[in-house]
Every structure is written in structure tokens, then in C-alpha cells.
Structure 1
Amino acid sequence: MAERGRAGVVGLGAMGSGIAEVFARGGWSVVGLEEQPAALDRARQRLATSTARAVERGKLDDAGAQALTARVTYTTDVADLAGCEVVVEAVPEVAALKQAVFARLDAVVGPDALLATNTSSLSVTALAAGTSDPSRVVGVHFFNPAPVQPLVEVIATVLTAPATLQRARDVLEGLGKTTIACTDRAGFVVNALLVPYLNHAASWYERGFATREEIDAAMVGAGLPMGPLALLDLVGHDVTTAVLHRLHEQTGDRRHLPTPLLTSLVEAGLLGRKSGRGFYTYDADGPTDAPGPVPAPAASRAGELPEALLVPYLNDVATMVGDRYATAADVDTGMALGCRMPRPFDQLAALGPAATLARQQQVFAETAEPGHRPARLLEQLAAADDPDLALHALRTADGRVPAGRLG
């Protein structure tokens, strides 16, 4: 495979190592940077383990694995990133740390280099503003594990040049990734929809409306690949609460405050799978039958599942598309590829816009939460002369319900 370019990756933890592998698989020469030699040794082992697994699964042959490994070099000297056409920073989610990385890169890389941050919750704008040329900075939110997950959210700030955004998408799509474009808003597309849904599920459990098994089984039965409480344990409660705080900071929506149970679990160090306990308790074989956190006693509302969790999530979807933050096609792509969830507009079509609106109106009447107000787009779809045709047009256009389709 001919070399396609030279890329740098700063920070070689699990995500950074994966991003380095993605570029190397795509034929790029990769320079991986870490501060400590021990961290470089761990990165080398991650790449060796990942490529060996790919060989076992028939995704690579031995020669391909050796060539891939040879395309990655490791360094502790930032000066070795000079000459890189693209540099992705993937250091921990600490704003000051990422800003320091960009300041160092500014002094090293050429003026035409594309700079990208792999953040899932921080402001890309704030990171870009501290560089000498913020027009060349974008966010590139890979999903874990990066070599396997096909989706990358590409985030443009108000300072990003249109050519920079297009260049980033071209590079990533050349690596075999599917991209969706976002502006710099908390949670981007996927986390802005997924994380409030997970928080809502945790709230239902905390309030004693349903058991963890009832909640998870109901949502799997609705076509989701994993129940929300099991998914919270997999993601990590510390990660989830960090995203929720970022969402609440920007939106002021009380639904984006972590439910007290999640906060308590984090304070107790019960972070989910990585700590061995969360909503479930885990051993080497997976979840055990050990009881979970004790919820408040309440009358069961398990019979309202899965719609009780699904409908507010779909209302958030309709709000996002109605606000023109993302198109219906990008939301469908984001949730399907980023979370392996059913495409939300498939779910909306199955439930029907009118039935979804009626259920969301009940939720809003019950909670009086402004964030639960039925989305204007949902009202438009429910009132359309032909809701199915309006949904189809929405999914194939730019996010608007076509004129003449409303009742």
C-alpha cells in the first residue's frame, strides 16, 4: 500500500492508540507521541494485540499486520510531529491539558497542518481559540474502539474554515469512516441524544418505577442492543455524569442534571464494569445476580415501558432536527453507527407521529419540565396530511417538513 500521508497522534491511551491504528490501516505513516517511555511501551502492546486479533479473525494477514505495525513510530519528542499533515490530540478530557497540547503543536507543525481534537464533551471552540490559527482546528469524535466503530462526528466551530471541515471529512472517509457534521454544541449529536435517555432510565430505576431487569428487558425488547442500565455500567458512570454536567451547563435543562443515584455511585467509586459494580455487580464472566442499588419504594410503572423512555428520547430527536442542528439522515446515521441503536426515525415511523405526540403531551403534563415540551417538528409531523410521506420527505431532505404537507 502506497503511503497516503503523515499523521500525528498525541496521547496513546486506548482511544489514541486506536486512532493511530486507524490511520496506519489507511496507509498513513503515523507518529505517536507520549510523554513517558512506559506509555509508549503500552501503546506498542495495544497495537500488537489489536493486529493479532485482526489476524485471528481473518481481517488481516500476517504480512498486512507487519506492514501496518511498521507504519507507526513512537516518540516522546513533540518536534518529531513536524511535517505531519494531520495531527489528532487524544489526551484525557481535561481542558487545560488539551490547550497545552495545542500550544506545543502550534510551535512545531507547519501552517497547512490540520489540527483535530478527539473530545467527547469539551468545547472545541475554546480549544481552537487558544491556537495561532483556529481556522484549521476541528473536533473529530471517534467512538471506542476506533478501529472497529465506523462513525466519526466532525465538529466545526464558528472559527473553522469550511475548507478545513471538508478536508477533515475527506481524510476520515478516506480511512473508511462514515462522518456526520456537527457544530460545537454540548454532546454533539450522539451523546446529546443518548446520555439524557440513559439518565432518564436511571431516574426511573431510582424512583422505584421498575426494576433494573424490567427496564433493561423492555428496551432490549424494543429493539435496542442493550438495556440502558447495563449500558450505563459499560460506559462508566463517571463518563456519563461528566457529559451530563456539560449538557446542563450549556442548556440549563434540569433533565441534564445527573440523577442523584448516578452522582452517589460515582462518589462511592461504583463506576460500572470497570470498577466491578454499578447497577449490576460483575465478575470475570459478566454480570452476577447480586442486587443493585436500593431504589425508593414506589408503585410499579413497568407496564408503561418501553414507551415511557423511548418517547421522550424521540421528542429530543425531533427537537434536534427541528432546530436544524442536524438532519434526520445524520441523526439516523449517528445513532445507528455510534450506538448500534435502531434508527430513531424508523422508531418514530413505527410508533406513528400522532401516537408519539400524544404520549409526549402526557409526559409534559405530568412533569411540567420545559425540556419535555413536545417538539414543534413532532407536532408538524402529526398534523401532516400524510404523516408517512412527510416522514419520508424529512429523511431524504435537509431537515424540513415539505410545504403543503401539513394539515
Structure 2
Amino acid sequence: MFLFKKVKAGALQYVLVVSVIIAILILTFITLMHLHQKVKLKGVLYKKSIENVQYTFDLLETQKINNDNTTKNQLDNTTTTFKNWGIYKIAHVTTTKNNEFFEKVGLLGGFKQKKKALYLQENNKPLAVVGNTKIIGDANIPKLGIKRGNIAGTSYNSNTLLYGKSTLSSTKLPEIENISVLKEYFSSALLNSKVSFFELEEGKHFKNSFKKETLVYNSNYPIYLRNISLTGNILIKSNSNITIHSSAILEDVIVIAPKIIIQNRVKGIFQAFAKDTIEVKSNTTLNYPSALVVVNENKIDNNNSPEISIDDNCQIKGSILLYSTSESMNFNPQVHIKEKTTITGEIYCNQNLELMGTVYGSVYTNHFLTKQFGSTYINHLYHAEINSTKLPIQFCGLPLEHQKYTVAKWLY
């Protein structure tokens, strides 16, 4: 009897091939399991990084943010860098978790849950409402209250003077927390910060991330923005004036000059800072979060007056600010809002405001003033509407006292 039987070489090769295939399959399975665990861990760490960044932004809503540019740690390996950007602040949050990196950039503005329709400073004068005027929402008004007015035979058309609760106002408007920062936009110190300069070219598209240095174009001469696209972390400054044509596309940029003219049918999202005058022509649309800002520290009289003038049929979504240190009384409006123009946001004017259009949001002013039929009427609202109930709850803008910051727009 044969104890051993000769095996053919082909069978051995077959066994060897099968063994190799099985080994490869096992090795592949082990590799896939390792890769799966690695991807799973990577996903967990990346998710944790995202959570840290979002938690940091949520935390900002409960904290007071200083005006200075600061960097501070919120969580382990999470850093927040702040930068002033017009009336807003930019928060750049970065986090690292086991080599997993995540970052987010947000534009922060002042936020208050319950928004007033009106804050009229106490000047020992009542508010007179005339014509189709409506004030819808809570209001701070002078102790002499609201009364029915009459201009050239036109009286108040409604039975209710205020569609909301009234509270007495103070002899001062709520303070703007970053007003000192806003004044710096007209000083040369602004250009001494960490910036890079570039040259404007008509027909070009310039885009700059808020994760990079600010791009600046500075000129002593008038600037005419036409057939150009500017997006992001860009600042345009003139020591003369800036004119913006409807062919210019501006998004998230800041323009600075003593005088700024926004021509007919301009569409964009930007902040305009002027020392003296901002003129907005008809049919202009500025989307949220835009801002029109005049900060003037000269004495105001009837011959020398800063102003923001917005023509008819305009749509402005954002903040309008006229701030002057002058305490002298004058009889000219410093902010004019014409008929059929709608402001969705807020108007802050510590001088005289002539409101002929509609505000879906809040108005803060020292006096109302309107010029009709050759006469000047102090603290009169004529065919105007202020309605805080139509302002989106998410709106944020000027950082007034007792307000927190929250995200107005994600920039990255």
C-alpha cells in the first residue's frame, strides 16, 4: 500500500494562487478597516473642530468685545482674532484638533432682541404727527408726548397716535460704543495698520479674502468707480471725493472720502464713510449689511452742515448714521429721506432728521424737522412711517449701549 501519492505541480500552483488571493483579501480587509477607523477618527476630530468654532461664535453673543483688535483663546487650540470693519467687527475663529484645522470668518454687528421703533431725544418739545404718518412699535418719546399736527391744512389721518407702548426718553441718545473707532476712518493712522496697497484699474475684478491683509487704494484726488468689481477685504480712500457709478459692483468693501456720491441705480453691499456729505441718487439699492456713515466734529450752522441725502425710490438695507459733536441748534435737516424710499434697518441721527419715506426698523434722533410750503416745522413727522415689527429679528447693525454682538453675515 502506498503511503504517499505524487501530487501534480499544477495543483500546487493552484493552491499557491488561492493562498495568495486569500492573503491579499485579508490584507485588503485589514487595510480597509484601518482606513475606515482613520477616516472615522478624522471625521470626529473635524466635527469637533467645527463645534469648537461654532461654540466660540455663540459665546461671542454673551460677551463684551473691546474696540481694540485683540486675539484670545476661547477653547483649547481655538483662537479668535478681531478686526474693526466699518460699523461692524470681523471675527476670525480658527481651531486645530490633532492636525484637523477649521476656520470661519463672520461679520459681527450690534444686536438687540426687542427693537424700538423710535427714540426721540428729550428737548422739551412734543412730537407732532401729520398726514398719513404711522409709528408702529414701542417708542421712547419726550415728556410732552405725541400730538396731532397740521401742515398747510393737512392734519393727522388716524385715530391712534402710537401703535405701541411709550416710555420717556432721555436728554441724550443711546451711546454708540465704537464711535471712537469710526472717527479713525478719517485719520492717516488707518493706513499705518497692516495693509497692502494696490492700483485701481477700470474693467478689472479685485477680490480679497478677509483672511488676508486689507487691500487699500489711497488717493489725494477724486475717485470715480465705474466698470469695476471690488469684493471683500478692500478699502478705497480719497482725500477729495468718491463717485460710484451704476456699472460698479461693490460687495463688503469700504469707501472713505469727505464727500461720496452714489449715482442713480447703483446696486451693491458696501459701507460709505464721509466727513461732510453722502448723496444717494434715485433708484439705488443697497443690500444688507450696508452702511452710510457721516461723522463730523465741526460746528454746525445754517451755512455749514454735514448731511446724508437719499433721493426717492431707493431701497437701503442696513444702517444710516450721522454723528456730530456740534451742540448748536440749526434749522436744516442733516439727514433727508425722500418719498417712496424704504430703509430696512436703522437710522441714527444726533442732529435733525427729515423723514418723508418709510423705515422698517428703528429711528434714533435728536429732532425731526420738515420743510413744507416755505416753512420749517420742528419735531413734525409728515407722511412718514416707522414700523419696527417689519424688521427681521436677525438684523444687527450699530453697537449701541447694552447690546451684544452677533453675526450679520458669514464672510468665509
Say whether the fold is shared (TM-score over 0.5). no
**Normalising to structure 2: TM-score of the pair?**
0.25
Report which of the two structures shows the higher radius of gyration computed on alpha carbons: 2
More helix by share: 1
**Normalising to structure 1: TM-score of the pair?**
0.26
More strand by share: 2
Greater RCO, 1 or 2 (C-alpha within 8 Å, sep 6+): 2
